[in-house]
Each structure stands twice: as structure tokens, then as C-alpha cells.
Structure 1
Amino acid sequence: MFPLQAEGLEQSFSSSMLLEVSPSQPSASREISFSFPADVVEGSERATVTVGGDILGPSISGLGSLIKLPSGCGEQNMINFAPNIFVLQYLSAVGRADPETTTRATDFMRKGYEGELSYQRDDGSFSAFGDRDSSGSTWLSAFVLRCFLQACPFISIDPHVLRRAAFWLRAQQGEDGRYLEPGRVIHSELQGGLDGPVSLTAYVLIALLEDSHIRAEYGGQVSSALIFLETRLALGVSSNYSLSLLCYALALSNSSTAETALSQLIGRAEMRDGVPMWSASDAGVSSSWQPLSADIEMLSYVLLTQHKLGLIADGIKIMKWLGTQRNHLGGYGTTQDTVVALQALSTFAAGRSHDIDLVVTVETDDSTPGVSFNVNQENNLLHQSQEIETMEILSLHVSAEGRGLALIQCARSSLNIITLSSAVIALLPQLNVFYNIRSEGAARRRGRRNAEDHEAFHLNVELLDPEMNSAQLLICSSLSESLGVNSTGMVLLEVGLLSGFALKQNGLQTDDLIKKVETQPGKVILYLDSMTAEEKCFTIPLVLEYKVGKVQEASVVIYSYYEPRQRTMRTYRSEWRGNMSTCTLCGEDCDQCRPHGTDDGSIFSSGGHNLLMSSSYPALLLLLFITVFIV
């Protein structure tokens, strides 16, 4: 079926909260609100409230689609693999590994594992695009090895695959213990400037410490890497991101310097409601309700470090904060922040009881009946959802009554004796809002001069379509000077197509810059190795597959994969196609567009109106599809 474009640009917003109850305070309530922007497309608004009684519940429900970003390279494919490990580890730890969830998670893992093997090179290493890359990647090989080792208790992993990857990693270690990267570091934060060797070495060391057999076999490499990291800590590590990785690597190594590293990192932070935050450059970053992906990663490594060091009480507020930052799918912004955050949450939250019996009520206003949810020990992993009526300003009152979840805290006394206490956290209500905005309104609100000053990339789009059946898109882009860096990590260029058009067969070839071309309905995605200040231009040849009248504009977005908020968007349109009615395409009297006509039913209007096909029954089916898509 031909996918018509919904009007405007799709947007979403999620806001979560943790309601806490205890024997002394058996009820709790919170307020949450959201205002739709002035340029919202009327009729596109939709809002749901979801409630779960387990901090991992949203992610368990969302397994298989935790993020919306494309997953067409060796690292991104791991989003289909790694989160399932932590879910199964968590469910096993709390005694809730039911057959349905276990089967679902292991099926995802097997598919992700089989897909990842296509990115393993002949020398045993892994890279973003496998043998098409000039070299394996130390970073990606360590990431895959780490996840494969963790998955061994749940699915069958070929030991030969593990040994080859570990053997290749050994060859990438320098004489002073640091690990070197012969390939591309597609994660820009791991490039780390002068601290790059610290973050990469810590990342590899974490992988080698995941398995006792690997740790023993490569004991010399582990010791050498640890000495390098401890030495660099003593000399000073300026990057907060590198220091967060270093903290966890030292904690896993049982290094006596782990608490020193953690104290240094926390000492640099600004405490906000008990949660450490590190100021980072917001150059080229668009405004969003979501935190920066690097912030999620850093706090996740801090939480993992605190758990390893037994500093459980210190980590409770970080756990709560991480639990409330997820999107409506149960993940975060990218592969890495989703994977490490779910590992941190599952590890930290495993030591708690499940005595829960709560009634949650969500009220919008006095005139509308509230929505109630019952959350108990039997359904607390279930993510219950209810659509609510939308209005210009959504104001929700959420309340909970009953028994909550007891989190077992371990507090280390001055005598180094572990004591147990019980702190109570409760359930996770979440408001999810979906809507479209008119793209021309977004452009006006942003302003061309302001956009060029603050956006991450320069982007120009020009459409050449003098003929009916073909067109060309000319796209030129470069890295904005405002970012203050010479190059990025992996960049995705998502090219929305005008209704009726598709990429010409073999129209784009891969090269050193364009690593992969992926087509989706109404969209072409280019995986770019990186972007620099030097302008790069792309010509995208298009062919008309369906005749369409009143064609709407389409958008082109370029963004950094590991920080999607570093993005630039432009729209383009065809004036003459946008003004052309369906009758122009099928005759003056429009007979061919009517149900009793004789045409093949391939004439549409992309504005959601005048949908005309060769019979009334197919027309009804298409109309229903469009309604579901837009709302």
C-alpha cells in the first residue's frame, strides 16, 4: 500500500514520575501538565497515560523497539540484543522470570546475535559495517564481546566468536597498557580528545572483566590496562565522560583508587535534588525534554560504580532519576545510553521485594471521570496504558494509595559492616503525548539566521522536478562552527520523500563517506561516516511511483547518532505539485478518479483529502489507514 504523508512534523513528549508510598504514608499524589504548541496540526493530538509497578516495567514492555532511530550498523544492531540480557538478569535475580517474557527476550537475543555476526570481520574483530570498513573497531569489538559474554547464560554463543574477538583486542594494546583504535570511533564522546585513550581503555577493560575465564586468560592485559588507568587518574583526567567510565572500570577491577575516582567525579558535579549533573556544551543542541545522551551514560556508570562499591544509599536518587527519563518506548536516546542505563537500573533495582498493591487514579479535570489502574504483585511488570482526552492544556492529577515496592538498601558503616534497611519507592506513571506541528511554523519559530547560528549542521536542500515522472534532490551539508569540533562521529541523514516518489534503483552508491543507504516507506536514510566543516553534497535521484495531487512538503534531517539533539532540519516542496489537483492528473471531468472509473487506482491526494480509488471498498480501507496513522 502506498504510504501517504501525514501533515506536518511528528513530535512526541514523555514525562514520568515515581510516586512513593510507605506504611507511614500510604498515599501520594503529583501534578503533571503539558501545553500543545500554537502550530499543532488540528486532529493530530493524542495522549496516553501508562502505569507500571516495576522500575524495569516500561523497558520490558518495549523490548524490540526501545528507540526509534535506525539500527542498520554493527553497533546500532546491538539495541536488539543487549537490553534483553539485563531484563533477564533482573527477572532472574528477583524470581520473576516468567516463560512468556523469557521466550520473547531470548528470541530477540538470538536474532540480534545472528545479525551481529554479519559485522564480524575475518580477523575476528567487529566494525560498524563489517568487511566494508578498512579496519575492525576496538570500541565496537569490546562492546560486542562484553554483551556476548553476558548473554552466555541465556542463549548459545559460539565460543570461537568470543575467542577471536578477545584475541584481536589483545593485539590492539600498546606497550604502556592503553588500547588503540585502528578503526573509526563512531561514538563521538569516546573520542575524548586528550582523554580518548582513557575512555577507550576503560571501555575495553570493562569488557575483559565480564567473564572470569577471559579475565584469567588475559590477566596480563588486564593488569597492564589497570596500571595505565591508575596512572592517568593520578595525572588527572579532564573529561567527565572519560572519568565516569574510568570509575566503573576501577570498581570492577577492585582497585583501591575507585572511590578516589568517584569522589573526583562527584566533586565536579552540580547537585540537583541529590542527583549529580555535569555542565556540558549545548552548542548545536536543540531544545528537548530529554537529557543529553552523554548525561544518561555518565550517571549510569556512576550508578554501576556505586553498586559495585556498596554505596547503595548514594545511588537511590540516581536510580529514580534514570527511571523517569525514558521515552514512551522504554528506552532513551541512542543505543549506548539505553544499554548502559538499563544495565545500571537492572543491577541496582534487583535487591528489593515485591510487596505491592496499589490503586492509581489519573484525573484530568472535575468534569471528566478519572482513570484508575490497579497494580499488584501479579501485574506489576505489565505496562498498563489508557488513552485520555486531549485539550489545549493537559493538567493531570495522579494519586496512588496502598503498598509500594520495598528497595533493600545496603549501607556501609564505619566498621565496614553491611547493614540492611528498607526504603520504599513506588510505581512509575508516565504521560505520553503525540502530535504533529506545521513545519512552516517550526521554521518561522526557529528563524533562518538564528538556525544557522545555533544548529549543529549547515544544511541546504534543493528540489529539481521539471518533469512529471522524475526528480532530483540536491542536498549539501557541513558541520557548524558552533560545535567547536573538527569532525563528528556517525551522522544520519534522513531524507523524507514527497508523496508518490521513491529512490531510483541503484541511485546511490556507498563510498568512504556514505557507508550505507537504507530505504523505508517515504524515506531514504544515509549512514555517514562523519561530518566535517568541509561541505559535502549529495544528489538523490527520484522516480514517481504513484500519481499524487496536492503534494505536501517533506523534511530532511541530519543529526549525530550518539547525540540526536545535535540536528538540523529543512523542508522542501514542489510548488506545482502542491497546487495540482487530482483532476489535473486524471482528466478534466475526473471520471478516472471516481469509484466507477477505469484507472488502476494509483491517483491520490497527499493532503488527506479527496482520496479516490477505482472501487469504494479499497477506498474505505485506505481511509481507515490514514485515520489511524495521523491520529
Structure 2
Amino acid sequence: MSSVTNNIENLLTQPYGCGEQNLMNLAPDIYLLKFLLVTGTATDDSKRQAKEYIEKGLQTQLQFEHGLTGGYSAFGTNDKVASLWLTSAVARVFAQLARLNNEYGNIIDTNVSDAITRAKHFMIYSQNKNGSFTENGIVFHPDMQGGSAEGEALTSYALISLVEAVGVTNGVSRPTTVTWNQKAITLAADYLASRISFMNDPFVVCITTYALHLAKHQSKDSFFNKMEQIAINEDVYKYWESSQKIPDNTVFQMSAPTSALSIEATSYALLTYILRDNSNEARLPILRWLISKRNPNGGFISTQDTIVCLEALSRASVGMYKPGDYSAIVTISYSGADGKAQSIMANINKENENILQRIDIPYQNNAPSTVFVTANTANGGSGPSTVIFDVGLQYNIKGETLANCFKMWHILQEFGTRLEMTITIMALSENATSMSILDVEIAAGYTVDLEEVATNNSQISRVDPYNGKNLIMYFNSGVVNNNGSSVTFNMYATSGSLTKAYPRSYTFYDYYFPNCRQTNIYTLDTTPTCTKVPKFSVCPYVK
């Protein structure tokens, strides 16, 4: 958990302007605080900081509720209908916080009991007669609809949230309400159990298996056996691969190649292992695979897989944590570009076990080609024991990044001290995007009028507050399709000293499939420039 501890403010390099993104910030704080409290490693400073973050996140999240209906959506009352999926996510996170508060004496001041009850009622009123759930709001996470029209994945997700919410509210509910709650849980669980022969996608199987274990349904063992049959065992790894395909050319990624749904599926499998009280040895191959997919900030690909995976990792870490001093010395050895042997040691002990230790290895002229890592106990203790480490390769990309998901272009015109820019995005497949984001670097010496941007572009759901550098615009699901969608905005000069030749970029990506990302470059100067000068030659455009 040290990578989370040290990067809690930088888990995702995405903006945080909607209800789900805020939840992404809130959930890891709760999981981290629980880990620190359960293991007894919380300090006054860590508890104070976690409390500050959680209180702020709760107040922000409540702003996305539709009145007092209990329903939530990505942009609150700006959306016509609340989202069952996001409401389920909120109820689940709030319930986990309430349980933590009950166990450790109301360490958080904000009381979310009423909010949990409202969200729970919203979900139950949204349940179909056969026990399933369907989404009537905007579906930002389309794969939660699962592999069939009935949407077993969405029903499983709602069931997980119901069980969590009911667990912290039954004690303050009337007997008739308790019966009503249990009836909704049983109805959903029975529906899912009846669909076992129709479930083939690993993501659907894994989330359903966890939901039925949480609900303690009699069919849970049959689903666990089915989940085990479709697991992939590869060297020291064990994981579940979603049928979601990664575009072949999305080579620039924050983490090792995989899909967000595969991470989410494998996380639900790990949570199931924990509920079944499987041994740490059985969990370790799953842990290894999940950790290998982390990005340098401790997060994963999208918000939802990060939330679920951090929950699984934190709960697994609690189970593996031992209070004794199991000191270790990790030695990293390699040969540098000059051919000289290098050796660096890192000490892991009780005092620094929650501190992420980073060792930078310079990579020059294709060296080192191999890095050797060894670990030994520092106090002469015998094994077996486990030390987990990540090896990350970070590099810069020259020029534009291209993906076969979108076609994107712009028109830039100058009108005195005003620049008018139109950006057009077209999906290259028949599948429209889910929630998507356009992030535009604003030229130096210029600013934008956010109210004007929102007024002139009705297809935009939200514009983030301007930070002086980037204009960030959100699009609802389906807005960007193969017919194309355009936005037009003005940049207004604020100073007389403008660096027109300096290139800027704009990036568009699908929020739930961030590997589908494209970056284009724009410049205010049409003068040609040299990006590469041949040896013994000169660039004719350098003045």
C-alpha cells in the first residue's frame, strides 16, 4: 500500500470535475485510513490528513445528489435523470465509511446515514420485478450493462451496494424496512443465480461471484467454481481477462498493457478469495498480477478499476500484515552504459514500512539490459517471506500520439487580439464514446471565458474551472460518434508579449477507455520549423 500512501493526491492524471471522479478521490482515502487503523500504523498526521480529505470529498459528493431523492449523477441536477450505477457506487463507499466510523468511534464528523438510506431506497425503487436492475440514467460505464440486455453486471453491482448499505442501516430501521431490504437482496441474488448458464464474460462472472458471496447466497460455490475454470494461470500470475479488446496501436500507456475491465474482474476475484478466507499463498499470484498493472502513481487505468482494485489490495494487505519487525534488505544490481557494475541497497524495516522507496536507474544507450534484484532478511529470520517491488519505465513522447479510435482536427483563426479555435472529433467505429474529455492547452498570454464556452457549446456537459493553463470540457455518452462533434471557443489576449511559435496540444480521450486517446499539436505561427537537423547540415528556419 506504500505507493498509495505516497501518491494519494496523484492516483490518476485525470481531472476531477464530476461525481464519479470525486468519488475516485474519496474511496482510496477511506481504504487507506482503514488499513492504517487496522494495522495500528496510523499517526496523528496521517489521520488528520485522511480526515481532511474525506470530509471535503463527502461534502462535494453530496452536491451531486438530485435533491433529496437519493439518486446521484455525474453532473448532479444538470443531468435530467439520476444514474443507478453511480448511486450504487456512492452508497457502497458511504456505507464503507459508516462502518469504519462505527468501528473506530466516529472519526469523521459528517454523518452519512441519511444519505445512505436515501440512496438505498432509490436503488430498491429502481429494481425490476424479476430482481434485476436497469439503468435509466446516462450510462457512463457501459460495460456495467454486462454481456446481455438484462445486464447481470449492473445487477451484481447494485446487489453489492445494497448488501453494504443494508449492513449499516438495518440497526436503525423499522422491522418492516428490514424485511423490505432483505427481500430486495434475495430477489436480486436469485435472479443472478438463475443466469449462470448465460454468463460467459469473465468480468460478469467475477463481479457476480463476489456479489453472491457477499449476499451469502446458496449458489455462491457454483459461481466460484465457474470463476476458477476461466482463470488464467501464467508463471507466477493468476488473473481474469475480460473480453474487452485493447486497440492494437494504443502503445503509450501509464501501466502495463491490459484492459480496465480485466483489472476490475481480477479485483473482484481477489475480494471473493478474501471472503472465502483463502490463504495468503492462494491470493499472492492474483496480487502479483494486479500490482504489475499499476501506474507510477499507484492507480490503474480508469476510475472504477482503481477504486475496486485499491479496495481489494487494501483488504488483502490487512490480511497479510504482521505486526512484528520483518526487516529486509533489497539489493538492486546492474551494469550502466559505461560498463561499470552498480549496486544499490534499500532497507525495509518497521520504521519505514509505509514509505515508498524509489531507486532511479538511468537508461542510456540501451543499458542496462538486465536488472538483478535480490532480497534477504536483515535480522537472520527464516522465510518464507515476500517483498513486492515494481519496475517502471518512464519516457517522453515526441510529437502527436495517434489512436485508431478517433479522427481529430482543428481550425485556428486570428481576429486581432482574439483567437477562435474549432476542434472536431469523430469516432472511427460505430460505437459512440462513453463519457469523454477534451483537454486543451491554452496558448501563453491568452485566457478563456468559461461561461461563453459553456453557452456556445450545448453538447458540453461541464467545463472545469480554468486553472490558467488548460481548458477541460466534458461530453456525455454518445455525443462523440462517427458523425463527428465540434466545439468552438475563443482565446483572448491578456498581455502584449506572446510566444506565438511555441506549440500547444489538445487531447481527447474516452474516460472509461483512456487508452483510446489522441493528442494533436497546434501552433499560432505558420513559420516552418525543423524537428530534426541532419548531421553536418543546418536548419534554414533557425534565425
Q: Shorter chain as normaliser: what TM range?
A: 0.7 to 0.9
**Is 1:59–1:329's contact at 8 Å kept on the other side of the alignment?**
yes
State the match for 1:183 in structure 2. 137
State the match for 1:462 in structure 2. 411
State the match for 2:534 in structure 1. none
2:223 equivalent to 1:276: no
2:518 equivalent to 1:568: yes
Give the match's secondary structure for 1:305: helix
Change beyond 3 A, Cα 1:128–1:98: same
Shift of 1:285: 6.1
2:199 equivalent to 1:254: no
- Superposed counterparts of 1:482-501, under 5 Å: 485=431, 487-501=432-446
Q: Which amino acid aligns with 2:353?
A: N
Shift of 1:195: 5.1
State the match for 1:230 in structure 2. 193
2:449 equivalent to 1:508: no
Q: TM-score, normalised by structure 1?
A: 0.73
CA distance in 2, matches of 1:456, 1:87: 36
2:451 equivalent to 1:478: no
2:482 equivalent to 1:536: no
Shift of 1:175: 0.8
Which stretch of the first structure deviates more once superposed, 67-76 or 269-278?
Answer: 269-278
CA distance in 1, matches of 2:428, 2:162: 38
- Superposed counterparts of 1:596-607, under 5 Å: none
Which stretch of the first structure deviates more once superposed, 354-363 or 184-193?
Answer: 354-363
- Superposed counterparts of 1:202-213, under 5 Å: 202-211=156-165, 212-213=167-168
Aligned residue among 95, 99, 112 for 1:149:
95
State the match for 2:355 in structure 1. 382
State the match for 2:299 in structure 1. 331
CA distance in 2, matches of 1:285, 1:349: 35
Q: Which amino acid aligns with 2:32?
A: V
Give the match's secondary structure for 1:506: helix
Q: What runs of 5+ residues in structure 1 fail to find an aligned partner?
A: 1-55, 407-421, 580-608, 611-631
**Is 2:450–2:463's contact at 8 Å kept on the other side of the alignment?**
no
2:486 equivalent to 1:525: no
CA distance in 2, matches of 1:512, 1:221: 39
CA distance in 2, matches of 1:504, 1:209: 46
CA distance in 1, matches of 2:527, 2:73: 43
**Is 1:474–1:539's contact at 8 Å kept on the other side of the alignment?**
yes
**Is 1:196–1:242's contact at 8 Å kept on the other side of the alignment?**
no
**Is 2:240–2:265's contact at 8 Å kept on the other side of the alignment?**
no
- Superposed counterparts of 1:242-391, under 5 Å: 242-273=204-235, 274-278=237-241, 279-283=243-247, 286-287=250-251, 288=253, 289-312=256-279, 313-352=281-320, 353-354=322-323, 355-365=325-335, 367=340, 370-391=343-364
Shift of 1:236: 1.2
- Superposed counterparts of 1:71-150, under 5 Å: 71-122=16-67, 123-150=69-96
Shift of 1:305: 1.0
Shift of 1:71: 1.0
Change beyond 3 A, Cα 1:578–1:98: farther
Change beyond 3 A, Cα 1:185–1:507: same
Q: What are the superposed Cα offsets for residues 34-88 of structure 1, whole Å, 9 maximum, x if unpaired?
A: xxxxxxxxxxxxxxxxxxxxxx111111112211111110011012210112112
CA distance in 1, matches of 2:54, 2:527: 46
Shift of 1:432: 5.4
**Is 1:551–1:578's contact at 8 Å kept on the other side of the alignment?**
no
Shift of 1:508: 0.9
Change beyond 3 A, Cα 1:96–1:275: same
Change beyond 3 A, Cα 1:134–1:193: farther
Shift of 1:505: 5.0
State the match for 1:201 in structure 2. 155
Q: Which amino acid aligns with 2:467?
A: Q
Change beyond 3 A, Cα 1:243–1:427: closer
CA distance in 1, matches of 2:215, 2:293: 30
**Is 1:473–1:540's contact at 8 Å kept on the other side of the alignment?**
yes
CA distance in 2, matches of 1:429, 1:285: 25
State the match for 2:117 in structure 1. 163
Give the match's secondary structure for 2:453: coil
CA distance in 1, matches of 2:276, 2:266: 15
Once the two structures are aligned, what percentage of the paired residues are identical?
Answer: 25
**Is 1:549–1:578's contact at 8 Å kept on the other side of the alignment?**
no
How many residue pairs get aligned? The number is: 494
Change beyond 3 A, Cα 1:363–1:514: same
**Is 2:232–2:239's contact at 8 Å kept on the other side of the alignment?**
yes
**Is 1:125–1:136's contact at 8 Å kept on the other side of the alignment?**
yes
**Is 1:493–1:558's contact at 8 Å kept on the other side of the alignment?**
yes
Give the match's secondary structure for 1:568: strand
Which stretch of the first structure deviates more once superposed, 561-570 or 152-161?
Answer: 152-161
2:425 equivalent to 1:425: no
Shift of 1:388: 4.7
Change beyond 3 A, Cα 1:114–1:61: same
Change beyond 3 A, Cα 1:249–1:285: farther
Give the match's secondary structure for 1:291: coil
**Is 1:356–1:405's contact at 8 Å kept on the other side of the alignment?**
no
Q: Which amino acid aligns with 2:428?
A: S
CA distance in 2, matches of 1:559, 1:464: 25
RMSD after superposition: 2.7
CA distance in 1, matches of 2:183, 2:93: 22
Shift of 1:369: 5.1
State the match for 1:70 in structure 2. 15
Q: What are the superposed Cα offsets for residues 199-257 of structure 1, whole Å, 9 maximum, x if unpaired?
A: 11111110111142446461111111111111122x41233322221111011111232
CA distance in 2, matches of 1:111, 1:290: 34
Q: Which amino acid aligns with 1:477?
A: I
CA distance in 2, matches of 1:226, 1:512: 41
Which stretch of the first structure deviates more once superposed, 190-199 or 70-79?
Answer: 190-199
**Is 1:404–1:424's contact at 8 Å kept on the other side of the alignment?**
no
CA distance in 2, matches of 1:167, 1:464: 52
CA distance in 2, matches of 1:404, 1:515: 58
Q: Which amino acid aligns with 2:19?
A: G
